[in-house]
Amino acid sequence: MERFFFSAFIFLLTITCIFLKPFNKKEWVYTTFFAMLTLLFGLVKFHDIEYVFSNVWNAALSLISIMIISLVLDDIGFFKWSALTMVLTSEGNKFKLFLNLIILGSLISVFFNNDGAILILTPIIYEAMKSLGLTYRETIPFLFACGYIADTASVPLVVSNLANIVAADTLSIDFTYYLSKMIIPGIVIIVSVSVTMFINYRKELTGYYKTTNIINPDDCVKDWSIFNSGIFTLLLVIVGYFIGGLYRIPVSIISTLGALFLLAQGYRRKTVKINGILKKAPWSILIFVLSMYLIVYGLYINGLNVVMYNIMQFLNNKSVLVVSLLYGIISTIAACFMNNLPSVMVGSIAVNDSLLNGVTREIISFANVIGSDVGAKITPIGSLATIMWIGILSQRGIKISFKEYTITSLKIIVPPLLIGLIVLAIM
């Protein structure tokens, strides 16, 4: 019991440091330090590192390679062109602009992952809103839309969220099978979140804005050849995911080949700074995920496994609707207070250890992902993407309190979360 409480103490310190950032260090610095403490005090053994690495390398490498593709496209102006085109095609209508932002954010999140959507889209939208001369109150709905849609739109594809890849790898779920089960719940969740956001911000979304200060989107594109190559590469990668799913090829291999192809195009055209792109790539994510997983694994094997086993046995043989709702809520609570990566890791390992079979196993596996992707948005510490989003806004003088964020999120996230879990049960 003492080992469990000590593991929980180390884990809570890790999450606290990630959110509060004492000494202003990167997230991986805190997780590495506490992972070393976990090893030093014998909460996990050195041979556990191999097991942990086998579960996280594919997720981390996939995120890095997709981010490299995103950075190349960002460097040549693809995302700025997209955002400015969205602003102009909205014809000065705030509601239409809001709807177009949701569509753009959803596409970026689905195909480039949620973290990429946050890092790339939020600053661009902030600058676009600023150039339109909108007030602080008028800008908030669009900035919150960036934050909410990035995570909630990451449900449909296994590559859209680091949590999805971790769950799929741990449970041996391939790309095509994941898509067949989550595409409908994912679309329903995106539509539901769009509706709840509009209801919450309907007063701010009435009226029009002037587009006279918006520059021509085409002027933002440095190289149309790379622009087109980027779209072609993305299409190839998506096709590769389907083919790879048939032959059990890790998604990171497909996305890495796509990143290398696009980097080669950039090198050939001399318009993309390859060294700059590689320096910006989130290489530290591999260390972050490995060390975080090690900390969580220490918590799991030192007592949390017993708790999770009892939960799984309680849910066994219950109706699909009950299982989906109950475990989705459990996963949500876990993600909200311990972050979605640890929660999806613990849930996925517990499913394997529970020896559950059939529909109950599937429902718990996918409800775990929905809770970790969507439910995690309720608190500002629920996902790494949300933490980064708050950091980006803070750098621009926009401070959002824990209370303000959570109250808003309860209204916007809870209905789509429950609807998504119900649709999953129906599926």
pLDDT tens, residue by residue, 14-69: 989 988 889 888 889 999 999 999 999 999 998 888 888 888 889 889 889 998 99
Please state, in angstroms and rounded to a whole number, the distance separating the CA atoms of residues 72 and 208.
Answer: 34
- Judge whether 367 and 421 are in contact, CB under 8 Å: yes
Residue 32 corresponds to which amino acid? T
From CA 97, how far away is CA 265, in angstroms rounded? Answer: 33
d(CA 179, CA 51): 26
Determine the Cα–Cα distance for residues 81 and 78; give it in Å rounded to an integer. 5
Which alpha helices (DSSP H) does 21-93 contain, by range? Answer: 27-40, 48-75, 78-89
pTM of the model: 0.90
The single-letter code of the amino acid at 7 is: S
Task: Please check whether residue 110 is in contact with residue 189, taking contact to mean a CB–CB distance below 8 angstroms.
Answer: no
Contacts of 29 by beta carbon, 8 Å cutoff, 6+ apart? none
Residue 337 is predicted with a pLDDT of 85
Confidence of residue 213 (pLDDT cuts 50, 70, 90): confident
Domain boundary assignment for the chain: 2-426
- Model confidence pLDDT, tens digit, residues 340-393: 888 898 999 999 888 777 889 999 999 999 999 999 999 998 888 898 899 889
CA distances from 7 to 10, 41, 198, 325, 331 (A): 5, 10, 42, 29, 20
Centre a 10 Å sphere on the Cβ of residue 330 and count the other Cβ atoms it contains: 20
Placement of tokens 């803070």 in the chain = 394
Cα separation, 226 vs 420, in Å, equals 38
- Whether residue 114 has pLDDT greater than 80: yes
Place of tokens 């789509």: 416
What does the block give as tokens for 2? Answer: 């003492």
CB 337, CB 381: distance < 8 Å = yes
Which amino acid, residue 259?
A: A
The structure tokens 């779920």 sit at 173
pLDDT of 137-185, one tens digit each?
Answer: 889 999 999 999 999 999 999 999 989 998 998 888 999 999 999 999 9
Give residue for tokens 């926009």: 398
Q: Exposed, middle or buried, 23 (CB in 10 Å: 0-12/13-18/19+)?
A: exposed
C-alpha to C-alpha distance for 387 and 315, rounded to whole angstroms: 32
Residues 360, 175 contacting (CB under 8 angstroms): no
Contact (CB, 8 A) for 269 and 224: no
Question: In the structure encoding, which two tokens stand for residue 315, read together?
Answer: 């849910």
Residue 150's Cβ-side half-sphere holds a number of Cα atoms within 13 Å equal to 27
Average pLDDT, the chain: 91
Q: Are 221 and 78 in contact (CB under 8 A)?
A: yes
Q: How far is CA 368 from the centre of its chain?
A: 14
Q: Give the pLDDT of residue 384.
A: 82
Residue 282 confidence class, pLDDT cut points 50, 70, 90: confident
DSSP codes of every residue in 259-316: HHHHHHHHHHHT-S-HHHHHHHS-THHHHHHHHHHHHHHHHIIIIIHHHHHHHHHHHT
pLDDT of 330 over the 80 cut: yes
- pLDDT per position as a tens digit, 74-87: 999 999 999 889 98
Burial class, 257, CB count within 10 angstroms (exposed 0-12 / middle 13-18 / buried 19+): middle
Residues 295-314, mean pLDDT to the nearest whole number = 91
pLDDT at 193: 97
pLDDT at 102 over 90: yes
